[in-house]
Amino acid sequence: MATRTRDQERTTSQPDSSMRSWMPSTAWLGRILVALIAGTLLLIWALYSATQTDLIMPTPVDVATRLVDFVASARFWTHLWVTVQEIAAGFALGSLIGIGFGVLAAEFLIARWVIMPYVIIVQALPKFALAPILVIWFGFGITPKIIIAALIAFFPLLENTYLGLTTTPPDMVELFRAVRANRWTTLTKLRIPNAVPAIFSGLRVALILSLVGAVVAEYVGANRGLGALIIVAQGTLDTELMFVAFVVLTALGLALDKLHAISYRLVLRRLYGRTASQAAASGSRVSV
C-alpha cells in the first residue's frame, strides 16, 4: 500500500513539474512572438510610408521624433491629464452603477425584471449620438465626457457581476443555508468572493471602454483632451500629430490594462493567498 501511494504521488507530481517547466517557455515564446509581430508591423509601416507623402502616411521615425517633442511640451500633459480625469471618473461612476445594479439583479427577482429592460434600452442607444444632447444639457466641460464613458463602461460590469453572483457553487450555498446564514452574510462572505474573478473581467473591459468613451465624447464639443487633439490635427491636416495621439492613446490603454492586472493579483492574493496562475491551475474560475 505504501509503495502504491508513493507511485501515485510521483505520478501526480510529474505533470505539475512538467507544467512548471513548460509555462516559462510558453511565456517567453509569447513575448518573442509579440515582439516579432510588432517589428513586422513597423517594417510594413516604414515601407509603405516610403511610397507616400507625409500628409498621407508619415514615417515611424517622423512620428517618433514628433512624439518626443510633443511629450516635452506642456501642451501634451494638459491634454493627457484631461483625458485621464475623464477616464477615471467615467470608469468609477460606471463601475459603481454596474456593480450595484448587478448585485440587485442577482439578489432580487423583481429588480431583475425592472432593471434589465432599461439596461437594454440604454445599451441600444448610440452613445456618440447622445454626446451633442449632453453637451447642450451640461455644457462643454468635463461632465458630458464622464457620462458617456460611464454609460459605455457600466454594462459589462453589470453582466459580469450578475454572472459571478449567480454561478456560486450550489453546495456552498446549501452549506450557508445549513448554518442559517442570512442573505447579507451569504452575499458578502460567499457570493461576492466567488464573483471576484468575473467582476474583475468586467472591470478590465470597462476600463478600456471608458477610454474609448472619453475620447469619442471629446470629438463633440471639447477643446482639451486627446480626442480633441485628434480633431484639431484633422482640421489642420497634421497627420503626424494624429499618429502621435494614436500612439499616446495606445500606450495609455496598455498602462491601464497593466494597472488592472496588478490590482487583480493583489486582490487574489488578499482573498485566496495565491496568484492568478496558481488559482487557474487549481481549476478555479479566475481568468481574465
Query: What tens digit of pLDDT does each residue of 186-216 get?
Result: 888 888 888 888 899 899 999 999 998 888 8
Percent of the chain with pLDDT over 70: 86
Statement: residue 129 has pLDDT above 90: no
Summarize the confidence of residues 106-135 as an average pLDDT.
82
Q: Which residues contact 271 (CB under 8 A, 6 or more apart)?
A: 193, 196
Instruction: Give the confidence band of 275 by pLDDT, cuts at 50, 70, 90.
Output: low
Q: Which CATH fold topology does 59-281 show?
A: MetI-like fold (1.10.3720)
Q: What is the pLDDT of residue 179?
A: 83
Using the structure block, give the residue that is written with the C-alpha cell 447642450. 136
Q: What is the pLDDT of residues 237-248, one digit of tens each?
A: 888 888 999 999
Domain ranges of the chain: 1-51, 59-281
Summarize the confidence of residues 99-120 as an average pLDDT.
87
Q: What is the pLDDT of residue 266?
A: 87
Summarize the confidence of residues 266-288 as an average pLDDT.
56
Q: Which of 3-12, 219-228, 240-249 has the highest mean pLDDT?
A: 240-249
Q: What is the pLDDT of residue 1?
A: 44
